[in-house]
Amino acid sequence: MHLRAIKLRGFKSFPDPVEVRLEPGVAVVVGPNGSGKSNVADAIVWAAGSLAPSELRAEKPDDVLFAGGGGRAAEDFCEVELLFDNADGDGPLPYSELSVARRLHRGGEGQYLLNRTSVRRIDLVELLADLGLGGGMHSIIGQGRVEEILASKADQRRELLEEAAG
């Protein structure tokens, strides 16, 4: 099972609908400073149900909405969808494709969707934990942490690798 695409709309620096397609293996996002590379990673963390301002680089829930700029007005709605390819059938659900999405209207509570059906946040978070994507699972390591990990002691690094490998 692998993450095949990330679809964003209205999220942080992506006011227009954007689809980032990923092949199996390693994908690299390249761009100048401040061009929005980390916002793509933030989008994955957000869609996976994170509520932590520190993980999302957003103080308030509405801060993930495009705030306006470059002559464009702010957006009042955002959506991020993660599309997992499960053609191999080794994922936790019997679908060849798994769609996980999160939506937010400004000032609203937000909504979580699994294959386009509304679900509770906890259901989505538990499903993603089965896939190895979730808080504390080291599936996403932020920029600042790379240096911290490289500088850590061998036994600490081993602990992290073992946790990440499940």
Interface residues toward ligand ATP, by CB under 6 A: 12-13, 31, 33-39, 63, 65-67, 69
Nearer to ligand ATP, 22 or 129 (CB): 22
**Run of H or E including 60:** none
Instruction: Give first-to-last CA distance, the chain, whole Å.
Output: 16
* Beta bridge partners of residue 49, listed in sequence order: none
Tell the smallest beta-carbon distance from residue 97 to ligand ATP (Å): 27
Tell the smallest beta-carbon distance from residue 157 to ligand ATP (Å): 24
Nearer to ligand ATP, 68 or 132 (CB): 68
Tokens representing 40 are: 């793509």
**CA–CA gap between residue 15 and residue 39 (Å, rounded):** 12
Tell the smallest beta-carbon distance from residue 70 to ligand ATP (Å): 9
Nearer to ligand ATP, 71 or 166 (CB): 71
**Number of residue whose CB is nearest ligand ATP:** 38
- Name residues whose C-beta falls within 8 Å of residue 72's C-beta, 6 or more positions apart in sequence: 15, 66
SS3 content of the chain, % helix, strand, coil (to 5): 30, 25, 45
DSSP assignment of 105-144: ETTS--EEEETTEEE-HHHHHHHHHHHT-STTTTSS--HH
Nearer to ligand ATP, 38 or 111 (CB): 38
Nearer to ligand ATP, 33 or 117 (CB): 33
